[in-house]
Structure 1
Amino acid sequence: MNTFAHDFRNAVVVHFRSKPSKEVVRLRLITILVLMDIVSIQLVFIAVSLLFVGTPILHGLGFAGGAIIPIFLICAFMVRAYSGPEILKPSASIGGVLLALLISATVLGLVIFSLGVGPHVSRVGVALTFALSAVLMSIIHYFHAKYTNRALGGSLYSIIELHDGALLGADSDPAMDANFFFDPVCPSPASFDRLGHVIGRADRVIVHCATQRRAAWADVLQGMNVHAEFMAKEWSDIRPLGIGEHNGSRTVVVARGPLNLHDRIIKRGFDVAFSSVALVLLAPVLLVATIAIKLDTPGPVFFIQPRIGRQNQLFRLIKFRSMRQDCCDKAGAQSTSRQDQRVTRIGNFIRRTSIDELPQLINILKGDMSVVGPRPHAVSSTAEDRLFWDIDNRYWHRHACRPGLTGLAQIQGLRGATGCVKDLIDRVEADLQYLQSWSFWNDIRIVFQTFKVICHTNSF
């Protein structure tokens, strides 16, 4: 090995091996969090046992304490409470562990019922331990997420950019200039050794190189056990998703549905079950609203309006009529405003309480809508006198799945009239975020959080 190669190798070892990789740090932090959750649950059970010794509250608490740990861990890993960005964000970390606790409590209740030991287990004792565990674990997850952010520098993964014949940015690390230590066209064992020390600890490698050198780099990187990508600015306008193949030729994937068949079956099954049960339970509310609307002003009970649905196809959305019959705007060109004179007395109440949206449960049962998804808009909806799709061309992307009765935008407070361009852009951002990170448990979380915003200041 020549002097340059030897000096470079030593410099790289010092540069990249002076601290543990992010993968190691992530695993340590996740392990610590799992152990702290286990200890927290056990400490709460012990504390309750000591505080209420000799009382009926302790009946069956030992059985519950022994069963809850494995149940909780299974549920926590199912809802991904210890993976991805959840461990970086305090709110997401707390939400994940609380959801896992809620599911654990449900499963434990079913176990107690199925074993026939219900009369011997104190409901108050179990409920108290779960409540105290939720408080303690929320505090732990909050501070753990804060510490994790600092330990990982705000990012879960380490990214290395290699520049081969490409200009380095002003803030780039000179060690990333591949011209000095590796030639993919004529590699050698020594140069592979140097490359391995540079990218061996990376979660993601991005290569900047000329088009004609990509094949050589691809051949090299496929044997390096890393996730590698090419910087391809020529494709930036179409935002490709991957590489495919057709008749022996390569294709560029530019679009794919957000859900696979398995996920679509789960989501549709939940939609049918939820809407069926909700229609039965809410039948008295629907009946009272129907009578009140009919007695308040002349006209039909329901307002049916064309809305943009999945795959940008129109469907007929059903709502309770909240405006005078002669003022109904089926095109949706004029957004409802506060103190809108078109809204009836009953209409004002059902809009503020979101009762006017309940007939959309029928749309969900029919398959036009889903319980959770981007809210459907009228065809002539505008913000600052501009049609929605003229403001942001990503608007059409939000229709890759069925529109929802509620959604991520709604629980974030992004509802009501679109008075300005920013209102629309914020909603599109939230809708696209929902599509990119869909999971069944996220839908459940959104449904529960919707109850907090049913009566919202922007509901008018």
Structure 2
Amino acid sequence: MNAPLTKGEFINGQEFDELLVAPSLVRRKLQCYLALLLSDVVGVFLGFAIAGQLYMAREGFYDSVLYGSLIFPIFLTIAFYNGAYSIDALRSGWSGIMRAELAFVIAIAVVVFVQFLTSSSADFSRVTFSGGAVLAMALIAWLRLQMRSFVTWRCGRSVINELIIDDGGPQVHIRNAIRISAAAMGLRPNLNDPDDLDRVGLVLRNIDRVVVSCPSDRRLDWAMILKGANVEGEVLDDQVARLGAQGARTIGNHGLLMVSAGPLGLRQRAIKRIFDMAFAGSAILVLSPLLIVVALAIKLQDGGPVLFIQKRMGRGNCFFNMYKFRSMTTALCDSDGNVSASKDDKRITPVGRFIRSTSLDELPQLFNVLLGDMSLVGPRPHATGSLAGQKLFWEVDRRYWQRHSLKPGLSGLAQVRGFRGATDHEGDLVKRLQSDLEYLEGWTIGRDIKILFLTLRVLVHDRAF
């Protein structure tokens, strides 16, 4: 197995930092969405303001502000749902304009309909309202066109980080895509080596879409890796082009099969992250006395370190350091997790037995949530040496790596269903995996909140040892 990379080490003459082949575009995209939103605000209010000022001077100006205030919240709500602030709107200026204009027309229709129902149309100046609507639509389109240069400056022409991995397959050329050689970067689609997967995960960090060109015998392995990489992934298969397959992408004479897609969009990731930070930060403040008491109890037990830090695999199959309160004797701590804790485990200290049975040992992972390594809800992170029966977890089911397409969680669907504790049999792992994959299929913030509440029922559990 390859040793995990650390900062300053070299691989094929390249520093660890150079494995990150592209800067993150997340913040830049958010800046562009905000710029489009502000331009729409200006377009709506300025359009009505000009119409009101021209028709009725100062009195008309005040009325126009009222019209804009009525229309804009409705327009914004529709615009968010119809993709006026989406990746397609960033890629294509005209696509964004058409979606914004459609949202504005619907908002105007809603306001007019409400006026009719409430018989308040007599209080509105039809000329100011109609003229303002026309001017606002024109200004929305013009201002969005002016934003194109800002979007290009912040995110580039393609707006996404697209990567081509050459792993011995045919050459494919995609405009504005980054190209790397798998051999030169030391990348291998080895599903039996977590260190190889971690290396691939580092390269794919900040990538939005990846295309892998490789021989046919390696396509399945690459497809499995991409499914757990939280990235839109495609493998090159020229049979697609020859068959004229529907729903697949073709570039020149080459066919591309989509094999993976990130489970969450940018908006969903933002909502999940904001919720994680707010909840974890509040929980740390509220539970700080308890955290201090548990830390003192562990320290007084045997004088050893308070925290147990273990390498776990997180989102995108990349390693991170997970924090727990130490529950075992210092000399017998299992850093690789090769042996699951059992009910009468001699390695567990008296304090450790209590904090494990009450799940208090997991509380330091709130700091992992704040650091962004973990989420409140998601598939639980496993140690690399964990066994189900006599097999490593990923040897039991090849779909195991797919669970890493989201950040690991403090709790998850498998845990609230009672699938926790030792994995003495392969079936114990399969049940957890099925629940984890089910969680990936349809994320909502409401389900995360529900899982957190259900977690309270299993904090004290007969398999929490």
Q: TM-score, normalised by structure 1?
A: 0.47
Q: TM-score, normalised by structure 2?
A: 0.47
